[in-house]
A and B are shown apart, each in its own frame.
Chain A
């Protein structure tokens, strides 16, 4: 390729990719711009990008005060963290057992894990609902967390990682006097940090963004997670007030987007894990 044509190619590449990027970013930009505008500017039939009067403080205060948005965010944090911790507590010992201990039934267990990987959570929503109803957990944090406390994907992922840990390390730990539980938490888990971080991102993003299950089990806004809270905000009689609504949407997506921009590689690894599932 000579110089000139490579220049043209470079320009065309950027042109195409830039216009694609613009489409990708457009909703985010419009969301931000709308969240800065006063109602009369939002509901004007004239195309204007930048607001004439910056209405930032008003919209964002409105978003936080009109609905218990902060409560929703707190619920989101509580639920995602609780789910993640439960998943780790359950999956890591099992993954260790399946990767490194020799016992009868181990192969069967792993086969069960592989089969359960095939089950999409939507498909078991009805029995889950009945279980939550039986346990009296409907409309509580328990209902949001309990069904996700088992992550077969987590077991699978951690097992694959533990398989690569040399047996000698476990033997050394046994000789050094670690108990078997201490081996799981103090030797295996620290060596599996990269896998754990990826899985953590995968799990937290999935449950922060989850809408289907909270929608089914929750009634009272006290336990609403951010997505549910946003929808209830919109469904309010004041929901047509787009400025505060967009401000609320901005607040809900900001934590993950900022975290993503700070640790892109890790996030991409974590999220694309679901593709390997």
Chain B
């Protein structure tokens, strides 16, 4: 168990930069998720931590000890791969025991047959046997130990891969999209299981995924990467409520956040489609901004009391809630509004409808996509030009 520190890490393939100035401290026992769209460099970062690839510049230390010069096997990390990477010619038991044998045995002790005659062989074998049994009990794969990976289902393979990683008690677990080859139902189930496993083991987990839902549900902290840059590192709650970049806001959350082009008018008051909202920016220099608001922070209302007006273009029934798609004249994409079942049942397609944006939860981004401060204008101050 150890904390992992990444300092000023750069990685280039020839002229293309894949990772740019990554600084990241991962606490001991933390579940950190690296999330981002494919090609953002998150897997490369994980592989560099593992030692499977080398950085161009920068350092990595594990438990306060610099590991840049260490081979993968000497870093005492364990990795779970997307394709599970089980040895197809070995049984489950042999797969799990392999990292132990490779680490704790000298080469002559690993020899077939002869190895068993070496002094202490029996003791070592019994020790390994106990560990395999503990791990397989924990993962409930005891009945699979004598099968080969080819005979297992995806979920079972996943457990075996976890077992192989767990058996030698590594300093940290690295997981490279371990759930993405599973079907949707199993994926949700394994999420919980991995999160529970993390609690039980208390080891540092670094988990790579492109699925924001996985990141949100499992992690202590999320590190969101895009185009080789680390955009934000924060708790799921924080990253959802307070994204520092429009790309973060867009990536996290389903259905997606509404992004509306807006203009800061006199006194910093925000206008969307020439309609003034109860939101302002204190920065007097800002002109064109993007207003981000999540579907649950928008509500449908009667036209008279609304911020924007439009036509109900589509209604998604999600069972427990409805997602209304409202076409607002002047906006390219429909505004998504989350509404409850009672309200949803009253709605009719193509009806004209008003939208109210909750100013407390509205997010403003400048034209570089960076988050800027916003504030709520009081109802009564609607026509005044000042921040409350």
Contact = CB atoms under 8 A, between A and B. Distances in A.
A87 to B, nearest CB: 21
13 contacts: A166-B81, A168-B85, A171-B79, A172-B79, A173-B87, A175-B72, A175-B77, A175-B78, A175-B99, A176-B73, A176-B164, A177-B103, A191-B89
A178 B52 contact: no
Contacts of B88: 190-191
A169 interface: yes
A90 interface: no
A9 B86 CA distance: 52
Contacts of A187: 87
A193 B89 contact: yes
A171 B85 contact: yes
B72 A174 contact: yes
A136 to B, nearest CB: 37
A178 B82 contact: no
Contacts of B50: 171, 175
A176 B89 contact: no
B89 A171 contact: no
Contacts of A178: 73, 102
B47 interface: yes
Contacts of B72: 171, 174-175
Majority secondary structure, A binding face: helix
Nearest to B74: A177
Given A169-B83, A171-B79, A191-B89, 16 more contacts: A166-B81, A166-B85, A168-B81, A168-B83, A171-B50, A171-B52, A173-B87, A174-B51, A174-B71, A174-B72, A175-B52, A175-B78, A177-B73, A177-B99, A187-B87, A191-B88
Contact of B73 (A166, A174, A190, A191): A174
Nearest to B75: A175
A190 B89 contact: yes
Interface in A164-192: 166, 168-169, 171-178, 187, 190-191
B133 interface: no
Interface in B53-88: 71-73, 77-79, 81-88
A174 B103 CA distance: 11
A177 B102 contact: yes
Interface in A112-166: 166
Contacts of A166: 81, 83, 85
A175 B73 contact: yes
Contacts of A191: 87-89
B235 interface: no
Interface of B: 47, 50-52, 71-73, 77-79, 81-89, 98-99, 102-103, 164, 176
Given A177-B99, A177-B102, A172 B89 contact: no
A175 B176 CA distance: 14
Interface residues of A, number: 15
A241 B88 CA distance: 55
A176 B83 contact: no
A175 B87 contact: no
Interface string A189-210: 0110100000000000000000
A169 B164 CA distance: 13
Contacts of B82: 168
Contacts of A169: 83, 85, 87
The 7 A-B residue pairs with the shortest CB-CB distance in the complex, in nearest-first order: A177-B102, A190-B89, A172-B85, A177-B73, A168-B81, A168-B85, A176-B99
A176 B78 CA distance: 8
Nearest to A170: B85
A176 B104 CA distance: 11
| Residue in B47, B50, B102 with the greatest tally of chain A CB atoms within 10 Å | B102
A187 B149 CA distance: 14
Nearest to A193: B89
Contacts of B71: 174
B12 to A, nearest CB: 14
Contacts of A176: 73, 98-99, 102-103, 164
A168 B87 CA distance: 11
Contacts of B89: 190-191, 193
B303 to A, nearest CB: 56
| Residue in A169, A171, A187, A190 with the greatest tally of chain B CB atoms within 10 Å | A171
A193 B98 CA distance: 20
Contacts of B86: 172
Contact of A174 (B52, B78, B83, B84): B52
Contacts of A177: 73, 99, 102-103
A175 B76 CA distance: 8
| Residue in B81, B86, B176 with the greatest tally of chain A CB atoms within 10 Å | B81
A137 B96 CA distance: 49
Contacts of A193: 89
Nearest to A171: B52
Contacts of B85: 166, 168-169, 171-172
A173 B89 CA distance: 13
A173 to B, nearest CB: 8
B385 to A, nearest CB: 59
Contacts of B99: 175-177
A252 B77 CA distance: 57
